[in-house]
Amino acid sequence: MSNTRPEQRPEAGPDGTEPYVRLERLTKKFGEFVAVDDVTLNIRRGEIFCLLGASGCGKTTLLRMLAGFEQPTSGSIRIDGVDVTALPPYERPVNMMFQSYALFPHMTVEQNVAFGLRQDRVPRAAIRTRVAAMLELVRMREFARRKPHQLSGGQRQRVALARSLVKQPKLLLLDEPLAALDKKLRQHTQFELINIQETLGVTFVVVTHDQEEAMTLATRIGVMNHGEIIQVGTPTDIYEYPNSRFVADFIGSVNLFEGRLIEDEPDYVRVAAPELGGVFHVGHGVSAAPGATVWVALRPEKIQISRTAPDGAGDNRVAGVVSEIAYLGDQSVYLVRLATGRQVRVTQPNIVRQSSAGRLTWDEPVWLSWEPGSPVVVTQ
């Protein structure tokens, strides 16, 4: 984190108080394998925090430690000021929605949702009202008497959500909550999940490998790799100001250029990139020594493509030849080969209905250009 970024937010709570959930130096080893490596993380009350990473990056282990199914090798977990590190799952103010939903097959929807309240010996009448209210919230009231195998995937997902929310946990953990749904249903359910979270104000921690899901749901995202948290930030932070090549590459697609810092001013830097055959002029400062090796990340949608050379002169422009075109309907993807042989990925929204005339074609010479505010420099 050596860059100076305009939207860098403090890690602690907004008013300087102790964060709602605090993971401190949490490590989990399975034999020699380090699944979670010295993770320190703060989660605020009422937010949807997404742990995002490829499979095997330790995000599920982290979630299972929050739930109490795995004991950390070292470190501590505090929830709302209480150290829960040594508490078993049945004594934690935390509930979990499982990836498989884990609905009890021998119980009806109603009994499934009531199960947690029964364990707490809530009076019968109170159980009935709370279960009914929760089923109403997830629009499953008419299915109260059904068994899980009589429900569709989307319905099961809503029952699992109701069951994990009915005890009003301080923290709700969701393990790949939408992975088992088909794409249309998933997009619809994402917004439903956000609505329910806003209605109840429960703090959510979501584990997902789907970056689109993380971007839609999350107030903040923690990107994980090899058991470590690489970057924590809002979806905008993560996408527009990645702190490393890994994050830039993992979220969305990106053109990465290795280069040398040739000019370092507080409000701009210039990076000579041999692969580009030109110079990047980037509109933010970097704390790195002049001459240092850095990487410039440039998103495909932030590049202008044109037949004629852009006005002005100098940096942030390069000539090339269109080598591949993919027409996706809403946008087109162009692969442009530069004089250095490097391919650059450019996407352009298809604002005007396309016809064969006037469209860029293969082997056509073009100019690529971008604004100083478009690329971002990462130092690791």
Hey, which residues between 124 and 143 contact another protein (CB under 8 A)?
Answer: 143
Task: Classify each residue of 90-119 as buried b or exposed e, where b means 16 or more C-beta atoms within 10 Å of its C-beta.
Answer: eebebbbbebebbbeeeebbbbbbbbbbee
Cα 194 to Cα 191, 198, 217, 234: the distances in Å are 5, 6, 7, 16
Q: What angle do CA 85, 89, 93 make, to 5 degrees?
A: 80
Cβ closest to another protein, residue 22 vs residue 156: 156
Q: Choose, by CB under 8 A, the member of 2, 74, 100, 340 that binds another protein.
A: 100
As given in the structure block, the two tokens for residue 310 are: 């852009």
R_g over Cα of the chain: 25
Determine, following the binding rule CB under 8 A, whether residue 94 of this chain makes contact with another protein. Answer: yes
- Is residue 105 a contact point for another protein (CB under 8 A)? yes
Backbone angles phi and psi of 166, in degrees to 5: -65, -25
Q: Does 104 bind another protein (CB under 8 A)?
A: yes
- Residues whose CB falls within 8 Å of the CB of residue 307, separated by 6 or more in sequence, listed in order: 360, 364, 365, 366, 367
* CA–CA gap between residue 211 and residue 247 (Å, rounded): 11
- Report if residue 96 touches another protein, rule: CB under 8 A: yes
The minimum distance between CB 72 and another protein, in angstroms, equals 17
CA distances, 154 to each of 136, 162, 343 (Å): 15, 13, 42
Per the structure block, which two tokens stand in for 29? 């080893």
Q: Indicate which single residue of 14, 25, 30, 89 sits in contact with another protein (rule: CB under 8 A).
A: 89
- Nearer to another protein among residue 165 and residue 305 (C-beta): 165
Residues numbered 156 to 175 that lie near another protein (CB under 8 A) are 163-164, 167
Check binding of 95 to another protein (CB under 8 A). yes
Residue pair 21/203 in contact by the 8 Å Cβ criterion: yes
CA angle 339, 288, 296 (to 5 degrees): 30
Q: Smaller CB distance to another protein: residue 90 or 329?
A: 90
> Does 365 interact with another protein (rule: CB under 8 A)?
no
Residue 90 sits in the site that holds another protein (CB under 8 A): yes
Task: Please state, in angstroms and rounded to a whole number, the distance separating the CA atoms of residues 140 and 35.
Answer: 38
Sole window of 151-159, 203-211, 217-225, 317-325 interacting with another protein (rule: CB under 8 A): 151-159
Q: Which stretch binds another protein (CB under 8 A): 8-16, 50-58, 89-97, 320-328?
A: 89-97
Query: What residues form DSSP beta bridges with 344?
Result: 336
Count of residues touching another protein (by CB under 8 A): 31
By CB under 8 A, name the one of 88, 274, 290, 373 that touches another protein.
Answer: 88
Stretch that binds another protein, among 49-57, 83-91, 224-232, 297-305 (CB under 8 A): 83-91
> Candidates 91-99, 200-208, 234-242, 338-346 — which segment interacts with another protein by CB under 8 A?
91-99
Q: Does 192 bind another protein (CB under 8 A)?
A: no
Q: Looking only at residues 15 through 44 of this chain, which bind another protein when binding is defined by CB under 8 A?
A: none
Amino acid at 221: I
For another protein, give the closer residue by CB, 73 or 379: 73
What track of x and - describes contact with another protein for positions 39 through 78 (by CB under 8 A)? ----------------------------xxx---------
If one asks whether residue 152 binds another protein (CB under 8 A), the answer comes out as yes
The yes or no reply on residue 183 touching another protein (CB under 8 A) is no
Beta strand residue intervals within the chain, DSSP E:
21-30, 33-43, 48-52, 74-79, 82-83, 94-97, 171-175, 203-208, 220-225, 228-233, 255-264, 269-273, 278-282, 293-298, 304-306, 317-327, 331-338, 343-349, 365-369, 376-378
Q: Shortest gap between Cβ of 178 and another protein (angstroms)?
A: 15
Task: Verify binding: residue 120, another protein, rule CB under 8 A.
Answer: yes
Query: Which residues here bind another protein, judged by CB under 8 A?
Result: 67-69, 88-90, 94-96, 98-100, 102, 104-106, 115-116, 119-120, 143, 147, 149-152, 154-155, 163-164, 167
